[in-house]
Amino acid sequence: MNIGDASFRSGVSAKMIRYYEQIGLIPAAARTAAGYRDYADADVHMLRFIARARDLGFSISEITELLDLWRNTDRRSADVKALAQARVQDLRQKIMHLKEMADTLEELARCCAGDDRPDCPILQNLGTRSDPTQANRRRRMQKPMTIKERLIS
């Protein structure tokens, strides 16, 4: 099937399919005599797998690990479970950070009179370094560990 059909059947855009091929996430598609990409049902299945993993928040490097485990019939389910549990931990941490940010913004909005005067505690707070979310910014600046790095440590 051509890339348009594979895209429709997998729910992955043709542009993303080409990108996944380019970065080596999926193997290069077979080619027809005319040079067009030719995908098999197994390729569509793999694209659906990738799409579902992306929907669950896995990064490209994590999806590479998952695909390696998926292809390895000698894998241990414990390895797959560890990847999933690490993803859950990351999501819970992101939720916590988002809640902290929302709470801070909510408090700032509560302190603002919202009238015709020019003074605004929201703008004043954003201009200070004592912002309670500053620690969050520092954490975001750090390079996140891959799931494999977290499993080893």
Convert the pLDDT of each residue in 115-144 to its tens digit.
888 888 888 888 886 545 555 555 554 555
Instruction: Give the amino acid at 53.
Output: A
Least confident among 31-35, 37-41, 79-83, 145-149: 145-149
Instruction: Tell me the average pLDDT of the chain.
Output: 86
**H or E element at residue 30:** strand 30-31
d(CA 136, CA 148): 23
Torsion angle of C-alpha atoms 86, 87, 89, 90, degrees rounded to 10 = 120
d(CA 41, CA 136): 44
Give the global pTM: 0.69
Residue 123, pLDDT score? 87
Q: Hey, which bits of the chain come out as E strands?
A: 30-31, 37-38
